[in-house]
Structure 1
Amino acid sequence: MRKFILNFGIMITGVYMCASCNLISSAGFNDKGLPTPDAEKIEQFHNSTKIDHSIWDELLKAHVKKDGKVDYQGFKKDRFKLDLYLNKLSGLKPDGTWSRAEILAYYINLYNAYTVDFILQHYPVASIKDISGAWTREFIKIGDVKISLGGIENSLLRKMEEPRIHFAINCASISCPKLLNEAYTPEKLEEQLEKVTAEFINSNENQITPDSVKLSSIFDWYKSDFTQNGSLIDYLNKYSEVRINSAARISYNDYNWALNDSK
């Protein structure tokens, strides 16, 4: 009995630590049977009319500043257009006929658009973390399936072995990689992912010198995604404007969860 209590206590402690260290990465591991083409699948992009992201592109250009701050009040005034786009996304369900680029662009835009929608449902709010179930509530429709923001990130996007998605999806917070003020599209996806990755790594969210790096907590939470083909420093050096020594000291910044509101 004593051994059982000890083991149960260890298990509960472990669960608590996991849940408290990172709400995003621990939420929603269930892909609901939706497709996640692996990184080995090489596909030539072809012209497609599966989905038109132009409404989302128009909204982003109108209501997202160059610094990534979001005009949620402006989005609220354009609620009809946002709902139109969300309904269009939710009416589709990716399948084997979609290219990898089409699926990635779809999931990224889906995540970002529904994050804005989620904030608007509770606006004004100081932080997305103040809203219960932000990453676990299954309020997003994909065809006949319902999924959470955590499910899209962890069970769909991360399974596609594309670490740059961490700089493309936006969690509505100051320390998050900024929301790009244009929609992701299959045609421009590679260029867009390279752009947002380089911009974030060289932003003020990271302090980089040759012998020491103090990084966004994103690189701590999702380290395994960035070290599939080398060390974390190897990954950073692909984009960093400062060459980092392989033995550089690594530490992490606190994360600012305040809302990325432009007001």
Structure 2
Amino acid sequence: MPRLQALTLSAAALALLAVPAAGQDTSAGDPQFATFTPSSTPNNDKIDYSIWDEAMKNLVISMGPSLRQGAGRPDPGFGTRRQYGHVSRYRLEGTRLMFSFLDADVKASFTEYRKDLEATADKIDIQALSRNEQLAYWINLHNVAIIEQISNAWPIRQPREIEIDGVRLDDAKFITVEGIRMSPRDIREKIVYKYWKDPKVIYGFWRGEIGGPSIQREAYNADNVARLLDKSARDFVNSLRGTQKSGKTLQVSEYFSEAAPFYFPDFEADVRAHIAQFADAETAAILDATSGIEPVIKEHDIADLAGGVREPTYQNITSDGVSQSFRIPQSMGRLLAQREQKFQKIIREGRTGTVTFSNIRLPGDPEDKDTGEVE
């Protein structure tokens, strides 16, 4: 069973964080990936990701829902002209992973867990699992591998700059499943995008960038994968990093362009229809008020709390008005203060509260529809 060293932070740290070129489908020229074709007669086997679930709850911090208000550029730190921490206008959206808090043992446990997931495929028939179980496996393996490599390379400003044996992270074949070496891109494009027709699967894959879909504070599994993908899709398309209005034009994330060969062949019509499925009232109004589409939104900076740098200036933190013996970089303190201000605004404006429905049958669904399954 996959293992992972226990991940814990100090009580003070947890108290601080409690405040409210486009990819191409090349699988046809790589027949070895045909072995991962899902079985037409799935079994009932399951994989236990509870230890990864615990890790995500400790390491992932939500910045809250997008208010569609870009964050202004922060002032340089006191006594210096150098800008530390995050400066992105999207820095108060999505989720962050706390790479700057990880020690060598925790980083090593990521590698161990990735290898355990790889070895799981030698013990059970991945292709014979239910489609949701398979999908959860591939998403978790992909995201564990990305977290592993970013944690090993940290501090780094942009994850896409990481190289493994001279090959950029996304295309480096450092993952091995059933004897087949593969890259994070291979998992997405040669397996999941090839065998799953619902474009919402794109929101499961974390790339370590502020501009991309969020990583969730839970591990994916067969029971929650549909719900978490819906949640991530709504978060992304209703955010500044997903969609914006520029004059009469709809601007969208470059991630849609990357997925176009697989899910959006008629790019404008298909992307607009896809966004409409998850759009809130404000995003729906943007769709109605625009024509044309430009996949130009991007932000490649790392989705962590520290901006991918070690800052030399630290400050003590307070929790419930009491000073703690725990210090964080000034820029991180500033970001978390902005996060708290944002949450207070959400509360004042009455934006809190979500209701999630799963495993339900809707009017018009076919009688044989397997509710909750990602197609």
Instruction: Give, in whole Å, the separation in 2 of the partners of 1:246 and 1:104.
Output: 36
1:59 aligns with 2:76: no
Q: Is the 2:53–2:218 contact (alpha carbons within 8 Å) kept by the matching residues of 1? A: yes
Of residues 182, 197, 222, the one that matches 1:186 is 222
Structure 1 residues 96 and 219: CA distance shift in structure 2, 3 A? closer
Instruction: Give, in whole Å, the separation in 2 of the partners of 1:145 and 1:228.
Output: 29
Q: Percentage identity across aligned positions? A: 20
Instruction: Give, in whole Å, the separation in 1 of the partners of 2:235 and 2:35.
Output: 30
Of residues 156, 173, 194, the one that matches 1:125 is 156
Describe how 1:145-224 pairs up with structure 2 within 5 A. Answer: 145-160=180-195, 161-205=197-241, 206-208=243-245, 212-224=249-261
Instruction: Give, in whole Å, the separation in 1 of the partners of 2:233 and 2:174.
Output: 28
Instruction: Give, in whole Å, the separation in 2 of the partners of 1:232 and 1:166.
Output: 13
Partner residue in 1 for 2:344: none
Structure 1 residues 96 and 37: CA distance shift in structure 2, 3 A? closer
The one-character-per-residue Cα deviations of 1:231-260 (angstroms, maximum 9, x if unpaired) are 221111111113323972212334211111
Partner residue in 2 for 1:252: 295
Instruction: Give, in whole Å, the separation in 2 of the partners of 1:210 and 1:57.
Output: 42
| Secondary structure class of the residue paired with 1:177 | coil
Segments of structure 2 that go 5 or more residues without pairing to the other structure are: 1-20, 64-94, 307-375
Instruction: Give, in whole Å, the separation in 1 of the partners of 2:220 and 2:54.
Output: 12
1:109 aligns with 2:165: no
Count of residue pairs the alignment pairs up: 236
Structure 1 residues 42 and 181: CA distance shift in structure 2, 3 A? farther
Partner residue in 2 for 1:238: 277
Measured on the aligned residues, the alpha-carbon RMSD in Å equals: 2.8
The one-character-per-residue Cα deviations of 1:149-169 (angstroms, maximum 9, x if unpaired) are 111111111102231121110
Partner residue in 1 for 2:179: 144
Which structure features the higher share of strand residues?
2
The code of the aligned residue for 2:101 comes to: G
The one-character-per-residue Cα deviations of 1:195-225 (angstroms, maximum 9, x if unpaired) are 1111110012111599642111112222243
Instruction: Give, in whole Å, the separation in 2 of the partners of 1:98 and 1:153.
Output: 18
Q: Is the 2:233–2:278 contact (alpha carbons within 8 Å) kept by the matching residues of 1? A: yes
Q: Answer with 224-233 or 83-92: which moved more.
A: 224-233
The code of the aligned residue for 1:207 comes to: Q
1:78 aligns with 2:115: no
| Secondary structure class of the residue paired with 1:125 | coil
| Secondary structure class of the residue paired with 2:229 | helix
Structure 1 residues 259 and 209: CA distance shift in structure 2, 3 A? closer
Q: Is the 2:254–2:295 contact (alpha carbons within 8 Å) kept by the matching residues of 1? A: yes
Describe how 1:44-55 pairs up with structure 2 within 5 A. Answer: 46=44, 48-49=45-46, 51-55=47-51
Instruction: Give, in whole Å, the separation in 1 of the partners of 2:175 and 2:245.
Output: 37
Deviation at 1:27, TM superposition (A): 8.9
The code of the aligned residue for 1:152 comes to: I
Q: Answer with 57-66 or 161-170: which moved more.
A: 161-170
Instruction: Give, in whole Å, the separation in 1 of the partners of 2:278 and 2:200.
Output: 11
Segments of structure 1 that go 5 or more residues without pairing to the other structure are: 1-20
Deviation at 1:26, TM superposition (A): 4.6
Instruction: Give, in whole Å, the separation in 2 of the partners of 1:92 and 1:208.
Output: 45
Q: TM-score under structure 1 normalisation?
A: 0.79
Instruction: Give, in whole Å, the separation in 2 of the partners of 1:109 and 1:246.
Output: 38
Structure showing greater radius of gyration is: 2
Instruction: Give, in whole Å, the separation in 2 of the partners of 1:109 and 1:75.
Output: 20
